[in-house]
Each structure stands twice: as C-alpha cells, then as structure tokens.
Amino acid sequence: MDHSIPLSLYLLLSLPLSLLLFFLLHSSRPRGLRLPPGSLGLPLIGETLQLISAYKSENPEPFIDNRVARFGPLFTTHVFGEPTVFSAEPDTNRFILQNEGKLFESSYPSSILNLVGRHSLLVMKGSLHRRMHSLTMSFANFAIIRDHLLGDLDRLVCRNFDGWTDRVLLMDEAKKITFELTVKQLMSLDPCEWTENLRKEYMLLIEGFFTIPSPLFSTTYRRAIHARRKVEEALRRVVRERRRESERGERKKDMLEALLEEEGRGGGRFSDEEIVDFLLALLVAGYETTSTTMTLAVKFLTETPLALAQLKEEHDEIRVKKGELEALEWNDYKSMPFTQCVVNETLRLGSIISGVFRRAMTDVDVKGYTIPKGWKVFASLRAVHLDHDNFKDARSFDPWRWQTNSGSTNSLNFFTPFGGGPRRCPGAELARGLSSQYSFTTFVTRFSWVPAEEDKLVFFPTTRTQKRYPIIVQRRESIEKPTAKNAAEKLAPEKRHRHGTLLPWRSEGFRVGSNARRGQHVHHSAS
C-alpha cells in the first residue's frame, strides 16, 4: 500500500482521535458476552496494517494462519476500522452464508463500498437483491452461454490470440479478453479504444479496494477514487445514449437493456446512478475472477508437466475430431472431464474470492461464542480450501483429486469458490465453466510456451502473479491424432501426485505455521 505521507506522521496526526475512539470502543464493548479469542490491536487501525503487509508475501493465508495457530479457527480482530470475527471453519462459514438476511447481512469495508457504489448488487438487500440477483443469473445461464456468448467469446479470443508473438504477459492478455467479453455481454459494445481506456481505469480502481479509505493518507486510494469518477462518467454517457435509443424504439438483448426496463425501488425505473453502480460492480466481478483463473491454471499446469500432458491429450482428441478450423460447440466442452478437474483445482488452490464480509444483525451464538450485534464477520473461503483437514496435501496442485474425490471423503462440502447461500456469485457458471475453460482450452491447443522468467503469486488486494506471468509463446504445428494414451493416465493417482510440482508456498516455515490443528491452540481472551 502506498502512502502519500509517512506512516509515522499519519499515526501522529491521528493520535488524539485514535485515543478517543479507542476508549469509546473499549468502554462500549459488549459486557457479559463470551467473544471469540483474539486481539483488537492498536487504537483506530487495529490490525489492518498487519493484514495488508502479511498478504504481500507468497503465503496465501499468513494473517489467518498465524491467528488460527494462536486462537483457533474462530477469532476476533479489528480491521478496516471495525471489530471483526474471522472464521476459518467450514461449518461456521456455511452457517454465516446460509443465514443471509436472517442473522447476517452483507457489509463490506468502506474502501470497497465507496468504489463500487451504494447501488451495486454487493450491497443490495432483501427483495430487491433477490430480484436483481436472479436477473443477473439470467444473463449467465447455460442457454445464454450456449446460444449467444460462445460465439462472442470465440471471436474475442481468436482476435486477441492472433496478435500474440514471442513474449506476452498472460495475466494482462487474459484480463483484456474477459473485460471485452463482459463489456459485450453487459452493454453490447465491441472492443475499441474506448473499452481499452475503460479497462485501464478499472485496474486503478481495483487496487484501492483494501487500503485506508482516505485520499489524504493513501495515494493508492486517491488514484482509485479518481479512476472511479472517470469510469462512472464513461458509463453514464453510455446509459444516456441507450435511453435515447430506447425512446426511438431501438432494443438490444443485453444487461443494460434489462436494467432500463426493470423497476427499481418504489415501482419507478432505475436512475442513471443506480444503473451505473450496478454495471460498475458487475464489470469488476467479471474482470477479476475469470482472467485470474485462466492465468493460474496455465501457471499451475506449467509447474505440473504430467497434468499439462493429460490436458493437451484431452483437447487434441477433440480438436482432431472437429478439424483445425471448426469452432468447438457446447457439447465439446461438456466432454472435457479432466479440464474441469483442472478448473476446480485452480479455483480451490487460487481461491480468487478469498472470503465474504457480513454484519451480525443480532447477537449470534456460534461454537460456544457470541458475535455481538453490529460486529462484522469474515467467512474465509480460502482458509477452508487450504486446510489439510479438508483436502489432502491442500497446498499443492493436484487436479486428479477431483477424479476420485480422494483428497477428502467430503471435499465438495468444503469447496465454495463462489461463496454460497442467497449471495452466491450469479456468474459462477460463466466464470467456472465457459470463460475459463474455453480461453485456456483454445490457448493450449494453439500454443506451446515456457515461462519467460520466474514469477510468484501474491494475494493482496487480489490474487495475481507478481509480474503478470510473462511467457514465451510459439504456435503449435497441426495436431496429429494421438496413437496411445498419455503416460500420466497409466500412473496411479498417488504416484501422479508425487510427480506433481509443489507450489513455492510449501517452504518449511510455512508448512509449520499452517499445520496447526483445531483443539491444540492456546486461547486468549479478545483485548
């Protein structure tokens, strides 16, 4: 996180207010309630700086790993200006997600809310949220994907891939493809200079999601707010033009048209501001999830040669049947079982959505503790995915675990890459199935590649590679029909796994820190 003034000066200037808020907070802390163990950290800023600095390491869950080892899988902390209970326990996460609107409600840090807008799907509640969630899902269902998006995706992917020569930054290229597809799906706009300029502003906007929400103290947040204004104005111009088109009787089959026709609160039409916020948040969601999944899948496969060989064979067999130039159809993608295993494992290990924030609507009893009314909770999806109690060798890439479900007798119960409950990501099938699978299926069949240089994963503010994953690409020659099964298929699952590449997170120190087991922790009361 960048600071426009030194951190020491920031703390000095905020000290009087910090002390006042600190004493108010501690004097108003719930009495007589058994809070989850933990620490509230420093006045005002709590443990926010520890959280941000921790996630700039290669360890995917350093902040949570450390506190789970000390306090257990349910602990109290203070981040982004509020006391927050973190959960790294699957049953508690499921309880939180399933009780949306009953015991918990959506509540995100102000740094996020200020950037996505107060009318985004992220903060909608009640019947309006249910209606708009359903509307969003209707534009990402199987029929829409099969009948409309497949053709758009094929054109966009081929258009971008045709320009690839020698060295490319895969993460940048993947983000460009998914952003162009999302803009097309939402507003029927083809790629052009306008869409590329909009994408560059989005990159700045997203960087501000988890910073101190003050333009005075964070240059990152100041840039994000400025980018937000530019994105808002660009989208507002599109909305105004589409309203004029609608008045002339011109209609398009996209999300914007549905929003123009949908009734908002009170029965009237949505305002321009409401539509802009809604579109802005959907663009953020579509931009990050799919592109990151594609990039991480390629990175993980590159580091696990046997998995890459088996994936190539699966794709090549289908490509030989279809012919070099014939576009793949919906049924072709449904007949790629190992590819889906790779997607699942990438979603689990990468955990692009690290977790979800909620706020307790009343005092909530969980696992012998009480979460006070008004407190935030964070259900960590990533912590569950990377827990060795839930998945065997949880921090290594093993797509074969999804063929036999051998990683755990109950793995699917722990696998929640898109959240759950009424707020489960409405574009989950699009991101999980078509976009990720299609993009890297086309990539694998067209190119061979090697990493241009070593690159590492970082997990803050979003999951990404540090150098945007630079690779050297070379177009593959015509695909010949395979004559024998790949050697990987002849290996037993445990032997295949033994040949797989362990990710760089698996250092000795990290393994020790992440292997703490529930019930073996020294509990301390929250302070």
Q: Report pLDDT for 410.
A: 62
Q: Report pLDDT for 201.
A: 94
Q: Which residue has the higher pLDDT, 21 or 291?
A: 291
Closest CA to 203 of 467, 461, 453: 461
* Strand, coil or helix: 323: coil
Q: What CA–CA distance (Å, rounded) separates 402 from 323?
A: 29
Model confidence pLDDT, tens digit, residues 127-149: 888 889 888 888 877 677 777 77
Model confidence, pTM: 0.82
Residue whose structure tokens are 């995915």:
385
Binding-site residue numbers for heme are: 425
Q: Report pLDDT for 71.
A: 97
Q: Which residue has the higher pLDDT, 57 or 392?
A: 392
Model confidence pLDDT, tens digit, residues 291-321: 888 899 999 999 999 999 999 999 888 888 8
Q: Which residue has the higher pLDDT, 126 or 83?
A: 83
Strands 447-451 and 369-371, sheet pairing: unpaired
Which of the four pLDDT bands, split at 50, 70 and 90, describes residue 458?
A: confident
Mean pLDDT of the chain: 80
Spell out the residues 6+ positions from residue 305 whose beta carbon is closer than 8 angstroms to its own. 501
Q: What CA–CA distance (Å, rounded) separates 380 from 94?
A: 11
Q: Report pLDDT for 518.
A: 36
CB atoms within 10 A of CB 141: 12
Give, for 64, the enclosing helix (H) or strand (E): helix 62-71
Q: Which residue has the higher pLDDT, 429 or 134?
A: 134
Closest CA to 431 of 220, 182, 230, 131: 182
Q: Can you list the domains of the chain with their CATH numbers?
A: 115-354+419-479 (1.10.630.10)
Q: Evaluate whether 127 touches 96 at the Cβ level (below 8 Å).
A: no
Query: Region 153-161: what's the mean pLDDT?
Result: 83
pLDDT of residue 519 exceeding 80, the answer is no
Q: Report pLDDT for 512.
A: 26
Q: Report pLDDT for 64.
A: 93
Binding-site residue numbers are: 425
Query: Region 261-271: what's the mean pLDDT?
Result: 74
Model confidence pLDDT, tens digit, residues 188-229: 999 999 999 999 999 899 888 877 777 666 888 999 999 999
Query: Region 452-469: what's the mean pLDDT?
Result: 86
pLDDT of residue 5 exceeding 50, the answer is no
Give, for 231, the enclosing helix (H) or strand (E): helix 219-247
Query: Region 460-468: what's the mean pLDDT?
Result: 82
